[in-house]
Amino acid sequence: MATRQNSSSGKPKSPRIQVVLPEELCLRLTALAEDESRTVSNMAKVLIQQGVQRYEQGGDRQVAPRADAHQSSTEQLRNALESKQTGRLRGAPRRVRLHRPN
């Protein structure tokens, strides 16, 4: 769900969302924004608006091909690590002692 913040005057700001993009897609978005003299976030807003309109009109309702086949090995590794559950640490962290060479 989008988060809504208040400005310093107390007036509510527009809703915000947080998105994580692969580096390649971020570079492409940045290039598009520079071509149109926009900020990256404004360009993302415009593209999201266009995509939502197209989706609502029925243009994007077909099944998309699996993206897993085209993921880079870095993205596959990242996804695998992020999907693992984290375990709780046992006990307090141990103090590390560094020995100076003589």
More confident: 33 or 77? 33
Indicate the pLDDT class of residue 85, thresholds 50, 70 and 90: confident
pLDDT band, residue 26 (cuts 50/70/90): very high
* Residue 94 to residue 96: CA distance in whole angstroms: 6
Query: In the structure, what pLDDT confidence band is assigned to residue 27 with cuts at 50, 70 and 90?
Result: very high
Residue 1 has what pLDDT? 62
pTM surpassing 0.85?
Answer: no
Alpha carbon separation from 2 to 5, 43, 44, 96 (Å, rounded): 10, 18, 15, 42
d(CA 76, CA 95): 35
Query: What pLDDT, on a 0 to 100 scale, did the predictor assign at position 25?
Result: 93
Q: What is the pLDDT of residues 15-24, one digit of tens each?
A: 888 999 999 9
pLDDT at 73 > cutoff 90: no
